[in-house]
Structure 1
């Protein structure tokens, strides 16, 4: 059994997921406001074709009438979703497979050396194989390669003071700058 509901998520978020599922099963278009990663918003009408769980998030893949092309939408960036018209099923599975193959092409990797507080060990197990989690005193040391994506930065920032970046220096500086910017919000 898969339960897509998120703990602590607003009910609307889980309702949007259920709506997307309904639209796929009934061949119904959906209209919604979408916020892209640059915080720009657009009204989209989409013929939804697949729900895809990847990287701890749900995505909707379908034909976007605004862009006149297949597109991938992060479900959590959708608001004001409304079911609209029926669309005839003319989807080719090969289109999704071609997209998926391109999407799973790995990002360049970054060699990292991280030290975490032991209290976050359970969180690390969800990301790293147990064999690379080395206990050093009362801390957890990780030396590995991680895809260099925006996810890496938000992942590390989510640990707050429970992580120390030993290497690379460029990553230390980027995270430090983000933290300093955050502190200014409270001054």
Structure 2
């Protein structure tokens, strides 16, 4: 128990630099006298810890102690931060404590190949696997990006952008960047960025208004109350986008979705992508629209 306490005290000092004996005593449920004995033990083992009395006093750790024991480069620390933050997004249990310890003693972090994060979609070209890392590197080095982009309306254009932030939202990665063509901050879906190139030109980050959310156009579309009946084979597609409370299980093994959604191309495309595994039951005008588009597709294949 004492060894664990000594270890945690060291971690706290490495991260905070200074703390009072009372704070440590309250945290570990011991007396301040016990804490001072612990400090004597740490000092005897070579940890440069010292105490000051009076206002502003407390237990301190030499700032150089953390620096001397940080055996990773700045670039490596950035890569480690990216990896840990990515894992943190999964709400991995007790990760905050792990982050606290790793932040203080990088050299003791285990080096095991126990997780792989691949930001490229299934079926993507080999070069797409490097796209995310290229964007990250350009962002850290303040380099301009050049790429072809297809927006939500299907319009293709070439862009020059100054990357500012990576954003993960609604099962997709986005890049928030200052677009030179639009002279404003924009949000780009990374999967729609093609022929990405990092230019040698660098830039000074600009303070821009917050960009309009990438999916805000959907919010402006009229809402429609839908009732869709899904075959059990595509239940996974339901869970990709909708909460359990919107899905009911039918006696014949099918599932019904009752939801209010923005009506537009995303909705039509989602329904059509499920083919014969989904039926629009309500409203009638959406049912007729889907039937018409299916007929148009069928006409293409008729001989």
TM-score when normalising by structure 1: 0.84
Q: Distance in 2 between matches of 1:149 and 1:58?
A: 22
Q: Distance in 1 between matches of 2:163 and 2:300?
A: 39
Question: 1:129 maps to which residue?
Answer: 243
SS of 2:241 mapped into structure 1: coil
Q: 2:299 aligns with which of 170, 184, 187?
A: 184
55-64 or 41-50, which deviates more: 55-64
State the 1:12 CA deviation: 2.8
Q: Does the CA contact (< 8 Å) of 1:49 and 1:91 recur in 2?
A: no
Question: 2:123 maps to which residue?
Answer: 8
Q: Distance in 1 between matches of 2:260 and 2:202?
A: 46
Q: Which structure 1 segments of 5+ residues have no match?
A: none
State the 1:79 CA deviation: 1.8
* More relative contact order, 1 or 2 (CA 8 Å, 6+ apart): 1
State the 1:185 CA deviation: 2.8
Structure 2 residue 269 is the aligned partner of structure 1 residue 172: no
Q: Distance in 2 between matches of 1:111 and 1:42?
A: 35
Pick the structure with greater CA Rg.
2
38-47 or 159-168, which deviates more: 38-47
Deviations 1:135-185 (A, max 9, x none): 221211122212224221121112110000001111112212222222233
CA gap 1:144/1:34 in 2 versus in 1, 3 angstroms: closer
Aligned length: 184
Q: 1:31 aligns with which of 124, 135, 146?
A: 146
Q: Distance in 2 between matches of 1:66 and 1:128?
A: 36
Q: Which structure 2 segments of 5+ residues have no match?
A: 1-86, 90-116
Deviations 1:110-149 (A, max 9, x none): 1011111112222212222223322221211122212224
CA-based RMSD: 2.5
Q: Distance in 2 between matches of 1:144 and 1:91?
A: 39
State the 1:38 CA deviation: 4.0
Tell me which protein shows more strand as a share of its residues. 1
